[in-house]
Structure 1
């Protein structure tokens, strides 16, 4: 299955009142070949969260790097890892993660 995803740079800014404001700067769009989704539980600081992970394939693009966000299927997915493989020139595999 293929999906068109929006690519965003996430910017955290501290507000004058000590809070945090998050903004998403659009960088463009990329086509993705979606892989299977997996779900696991993660506990941090005494709080449990459900984490969904997937691997997708796309064309090599210098804008795709860890920390940026892909938005598709009504959800935001953080890019965790980018692997450019020698076996398929011009293609990259991305590891994505979404905390629910």
Structure 2
């Protein structure tokens, strides 16, 4: 099943008080075929963090780069890896992650 997601890029700016503010700039829409959602845990300094990972097939698009966010299904997913499929020209596989 394909879903329509919104693609965003984080834009950082310095506040007048010397802090950092992050806003999200929309870059457009992308169709995804999401497969294999899995829950995982990772140990960090503050304790265990639960997160979810998924794989998605998309059409190759230069806007899809690591670190950007795709919003679909009511959740924000960070692109962790982009693999261009050699056997299927024009298709890419995304490794997605979201913190719970």
1:28 aligns with 2:28: yes
TM-score (norm 1): 0.92
TM-score (norm 2): 0.92
Matching residue of 2:46: 46
TM-superposed CA distance for 1:38, in Å, is 0.5
Count of residues in correspondence between the two structures: 100
Once residues 41 and 18 of structure 1 are traced to their aligned partners in structure 2, the CA distance between those partners, rounded to angstroms, is 34
Once residues 14 and 40 of structure 2 are traced to their aligned partners in structure 1, the CA distance between those partners, rounded to angstroms, is 31
TM-superposed CA distance for 1:19, in Å, is 4.2
Q: Structure 1: 5+ residue runs without aligned partners?
A: none
Once residues 52 and 14 of structure 1 are traced to their aligned partners in structure 2, the CA distance between those partners, rounded to angstroms, is 31
TM-superposed CA distance for 1:74, in Å, is 0.4
- Structure 1 stretches of 4+ with a deviation exceeding 4 A read none
Matching residue of 1:8: 8
Matching residue of 2:89: 89
2:88 is paired with a residue of what secondary structure? coil
| Root mean square deviation, CA, Å | 1.3
Q: Structure 2: 5+ residue runs without aligned partners?
A: none
Deviates more, 1:62-71 or 1:15-24: 15-24
Matching residue of 1:80: 80
